[in-house]
Chain A
């Protein structure tokens, strides 16, 4: 252990050089630790964001494929049996699906005529066949509220049940249990549907329903099997008349937000080509919107961490190499005494490791505060820029998707998904251990290069000074 004592004496005696090495290592440690801490903090914030958007996967038309011309103008449909199979996956807690078509009110029931006029004829309106209305996003978010009765459920799939909006119910004096005659799109068939619930949509009648362009008071929700059966023979699908039930959208609520990726993979494998034209969206857009700034500073921190780590290793290797040149005489004397070359290298490595350990220890004292301040500042700027971009988005005119005006429907901001603008930096022992390992690696790399020079040292050449 003689070399340990020599290393200590050397470090203490050469205070200037030790201080320069310590400062270099300190800068590297602080930057690497800051990178690790920012990455940890952004990973935690992303996890929280993922939890906050919920464990929900929406199956819907792939707007990206539509705008890129990959899909036809016809909205895609998927067999309900396939969706049922996806809903049966172990990650799924509950699920629903829906299809839409024009429904025609008959038997004296009238549409609300104030505000937006129906684009589907005098008595025609959009009717959404749905498996479980309580799982529709607007109901789950509390945007729509059930005022009386109950939701449509999977058990009602083939029962002729209907949910109507409060204003339509008031105009027609409808209450839960009343019958409404609903005709098919082409008017060739009709059936009496029982009102099972009355709900409230807070949007005014003057504001068109954004997806279908109808008066929000006139939207109808019907049991999916019964409504599809009413439209038997039509292209949108149904299960009676020999065809299977085809649906346009589905929502899957998962047991755990962490199951999202696993579910998406299994669902895609299970459905195969049936998913062509569809996208499985695990609220990805909301998540992207929320975590964009986090990813930006996370990748910047990772890049900076690697660059500084490598540059630091190079600088330290040069310092160590320079030290070997300066210490040729010392090494020559030690070799002349019969000291082994491996111990000389160990002494040199130990000196580096001691300085590295000191630097890592010192950096851990203030890196958390420093990183919180710097990371927060960076994130604040990124989040503000992202928020400005979202705020500058303008909705397309009513009744238009905006595609004709060159607008990308995917750029529509998701509500209640503001970019994350705060991170909490937390220093864990594991982070210090990571930086310690990086520091050790850098110290060893910085020693390995001059170690070659030590191995080639000739004590005769050094000590006789070429005599």
Chain B
């Protein structure tokens, strides 16, 4: 599958700067960033440690607000839309540490996310849809009913991905999603992201150190010293 071209951006960052301040000093991590993320496109953000990748992801996923500049979703400023509403209705994030609810089963993690975001499957109930999504990431129904602490790292990452997928949002963010996975499992997760972008028309934004992952994405954004450069992969 090939990415669609010339689609309007789902998410746009304009003149975004971000500064962390404590009592002793102020550190500007992002400087006047302009970029956009379209639907049906698999984006990666590359950069060395401390370059501001995670900060950029936090701003784009509505976990934080920029010090300067605007982040807009479908043309609407997130500050006006509301960060909570944006996170609830329009995007999901997969974290490197999975961040699953440890007192629940894999299935309950997924259905809980669906309930919170109000995701309603077109057919069947939430449970059936959750099982279907879990199966799509390679977790059978027996595994789905196990407590997440009894799953391997790779399985937990798949649950985290399934949780994000089941919410049927427009944008999926992922922070180092393959950092803790072996090569085969990592490739499985990358395949899921590609399918999500190209098969389901979602916007997928992944922060990574992995050149292998970046090479499989449609667009690579590279962060250096707070500045962002963009490169389109032509395969």
Q: A-side interface residues toward B, CB under 8 Å? A: 2, 5-6, 9-10, 13-14, 329-330, 332-340, 458-460, 463-465, 467
Provide the bound-state CA to CA distance between A86 and B40, in Å.
98
Across-interface contacts of B222 in A (CB, < 8 A)? none
Question: Are B85 and A338 touching (Cβ within 8 A)?
Answer: yes
Contact of A467 among B54, B100, B115 (CB under 8 A): B54
Provide the bound-state CA to CA distance between A460 and B66, in Å.
12
Provide the bound-state CA to CA distance between A458 and B86, in Å.
16
Question: Are A333 and B88 touching (Cβ within 8 A)?
Answer: no
| B173-186 interface code vs A (CB 8 A; 1 in, 0 out) | 00100000000000
Show 24 A/B contacts (Cβ-Cβ < 8 Å), sorted by A.
Answer: A2-B116, A6-B112, A10-B103, A13-B147, A332-B99, A333-B99, A333-B100, A334-B116, A335-B84, A335-B87, A336-B63, A337-B92, A337-B113, A337-B116, A337-B167, A338-B87, A338-B116, A458-B63, A459-B63, A460-B64, A463-B93, A463-B95, A464-B95, A467-B54
Known: A5-B115, A338-B89, A463-B93. 5 other contacts (CB 8 A): A10-B103, A330-B103, A333-B101, A338-B88, A463-B63
Question: Are A460 and B103 touching (Cβ within 8 A)?
Answer: no
Provide the bound-state CA to CA distance between A329 and B99, in Å.
7
Across-interface contacts of A335 in B (CB, < 8 A)? 84, 87
Across-interface contacts of B101 in A (CB, < 8 A)? 6, 330, 333-334
Number of cross-chain contacts by CB at 8 Å:
68
CB distance from A305 to the nearest CB of B (A): 35
Interface size class of B (residues with CB under 8 A): 20 to 34
Residue of A nearest to B93 (CB): A336
Question: Are A337 and B108 touching (Cβ within 8 A)?
Answer: no
The verdict on B97 contacting chain A, using a C-beta distance below 8 Å, is yes
Question: Are A340 and B99 touching (Cβ within 8 A)?
Answer: no
CB distance from A71 to the nearest CB of B (A): 75
Question: Are A9 and B63 touching (Cβ within 8 A)?
Answer: no
Question: Are A9 and B87 touching (Cβ within 8 A)?
Answer: no
Q: Which of A9, A10, A14, A458 has the most chain B CB atoms closer than 10 A to its own CB?
A: A9
The verdict on B70 contacting chain A, using a C-beta distance below 8 Å, is no
Q: Identify the 6 closest CB pairs spanning chains A and B, nearest first.
A: A338-B88, A13-B103, A460-B63, A338-B87, A2-B115, A460-B64
Residue of B nearest to A14 (CB): B103
Across-interface contacts of A9 in B (CB, < 8 A)? 103-104, 108
CB distance from B117 to the nearest CB of A (A): 6
The verdict on B132 contacting chain A, using a C-beta distance below 8 Å, is no
Provide the bound-state CA to CA distance between A330 and B109, in Å.
11
The verdict on B102 contacting chain A, using a C-beta distance below 8 Å, is yes
Contact of B58 among A6, A10, A340, A464 (CB under 8 A): A464
Within 8 A of A (CB), among B7-49: none
CB distance from B173 to the nearest CB of A (A): 10
Provide the bound-state CA to CA distance between A464 and B96, in Å.
9
Question: Are A338 and B84 touching (Cβ within 8 A)?
Answer: yes
Provide the bound-state CA to CA distance between A337 and B85, in Å.
9
Residue of B nearest to A467 (CB): B54
